[in-house]
Homo-oligomer: A and B are copies of this chain.
Amino acid sequence: MAGKTYSGNYFEDFTIGRQIVHATPRTVTQGDIALYLALYGSRFAATSASTFARDLGYPQLPIDSLLAFHLVFGKTVPDISLNAVANLGYAGGRFGVPVYPGDTLTTTSTVIGLKPNSSGRNGNVYVRSVGVNQDGQMVLDYVRWVMVNRREAVSEVGESVIPPLPGAVAVEDLVVPYEPGAPYDERMQALAGSTHLWDDYEVGERIDHVDGMTIEESDHMLATRLYQNTAKVHFNQFAQNDTKIGRRLIYGGHIISLARALSFNGLANAQAVAAINAGSHANPTFAGDTIYAWSEVLDRMEVPGRADVGALRLRTVATKDLPCAGFPYRDEAGKYLPGVVLDLDYTVLMPRRAGA
């Protein structure tokens, strides 16, 4: 007996090449689609209507790829970041096959790097996590690194193995999750909510997404439980009372989904997210914060073999209680402004103008 509860892995438990099959597999349902809508109010047509999705080239209505991200990510928390001091970053996030209701997602992580900190009390752990569906097809593949406590402090910290970190996902590596479909004509554009297609965006262009959304405690906790993400700081106010912050912290992925939903106003035809190149949660968010967002076009790329769709690499910045008409970002020293909460570098797919 004894020792039935699970206290997560400590720095000592990670070794290069160790593979962790994460609990709990999760079947996605139409209920997830409805809840995701209720939580963020997303209006991208490809993930709202099966008719539109089929016209676009999907066999059926897919779930939002960020919902897939949260489900895949959530599974890694008990094993990777339960004893984390800090989430340091993620990179090279590439989406694979789309996820449909009925699919079951499982995540496996492999330790690819270890950097013991000189304090001897913790170290950075680099993992590559791969989410697959019930047929073993890749749904999401990404690298993440976190600072994890040691179970016991040491005086000799050992050597570092720092993996090469992927940069932005190359356009050749992007998976377009649908086949070429019906012409993206006036009717499709009206239903999608915008006439601005891939051809109409320019590198360097900035877009204020205008709208704001206030977060309540119930909202972010419903979301984070839906993803079976167990990080305590999101749920336990009694324990948070004893911390310096004193409040429940909102899961960073909740902000990503809110920012993406807000980005509809200006990017309505960005029907799919194909990659998350890098991301930083610049400041914490709490219930009561109102989230705004703006985006900058970092790159505009043709997709090999596809004349119907192009890729836009975007930076989307989310803020709290700070409207984005002035595109708030960093101060002169390069530090994020206090109102900036998310700096996301990602790649979306958008239909191209036919014959352009």
B191:A211 contact, CB within 8 angstroms: no
A192-214 with Cβ < 8 A to chain B: 192-194, 196, 200-202, 205, 207-214
Is A248 engaged at the interface, CB distance under 8 Å to the other chain? yes
In the assembly, what is the distance between CA of A248 and CA of B114, in Å?
A: 48
B238:A104 contact, CB within 8 angstroms: no
| Min C-beta distance of A233 to chain B, whole Å | 11
Is A225 engaged at the interface, CB distance under 8 Å to the other chain? yes
| Min C-beta distance of A293 to chain B, whole Å | 11
A98-120 with Cβ < 8 A to chain B: 101-102, 104, 106
In the assembly, what is the distance between CA of A43 and CA of B2, in Å?
A: 21
A23-39 with Cβ < 8 A to chain B: 23-27, 29-35, 37-39
Residues of B within 8 A of A61 (CB): 27
Partner of A191, one of B24, B33, B187, B212: B24
User: Quick one: which of A2, A32, A321 has the most chain B CB within 10 A?
Assistant: A32
Residues of B within 8 A of A225 (CB): 37-41
Is A15 engaged at the interface, CB distance under 8 Å to the other chain? no
B31:A29 contact, CB within 8 angstroms: yes
Partner of A29, one of B30, B192, B209, B248: B30
Is A237 engaged at the interface, CB distance under 8 Å to the other chain? yes
Residues of B within 8 A of A212 (CB): 232, 235-236, 238-239
| Min C-beta distance of A243 to chain B, whole Å | 13
B31:A34 contact, CB within 8 angstroms: yes
B33:A35 contact, CB within 8 angstroms: no
Interface of A is mostly: mixed
Knowing A26-B48, A35-B34, A228-B41 are in contact, say whether A1-B201 is a contact too (CB < 8 A). Answer: yes
Is A302 engaged at the interface, CB distance under 8 Å to the other chain? no
Knowing A5-B210, A202-B1 are in contact, say whether A23-B191 is a contact too (CB < 8 A). Answer: yes
In the assembly, what is the distance between CA of A26 and CA of B193, in Å?
A: 13
**Which residues of chain A have a CB within 8 Å of any CB of chain B?**
1-2, 4-7, 21, 23-27, 29-35, 37-41, 43-45, 48-52, 61, 78, 101-102, 104, 106, 134, 187, 190-194, 196, 200-202, 205, 207-214, 216-219, 221-226, 228, 230, 232, 235-239, 248, 265-268, 288, 290, 321, 323
In the assembly, what is the distance between CA of A266 and CA of B2, in Å?
A: 10
Knowing A1-B200, A226-B37, A237-B290 are in contact, say whether A187-B27 is a contact too (CB < 8 A). Answer: no
B37:A34 contact, CB within 8 angstroms: no
| Min C-beta distance of A241 to chain B, whole Å | 9
A292: nearest chain-B partner, CB-CB: B238
Between-chain CB contacts (< 8 Å), 27 pairs: A2-B205, A4-B200, A4-B266, A21-B191, A23-B45, A25-B49, A25-B52, A27-B48, A27-B50, A29-B33, A29-B34, A32-B34, A34-B35, A38-B225, A43-B228, A49-B104, A51-B104, A78-B193, A212-B238, A212-B239, A214-B235, A214-B238, A216-B217, A217-B218, A218-B219, A219-B221, A238-B290
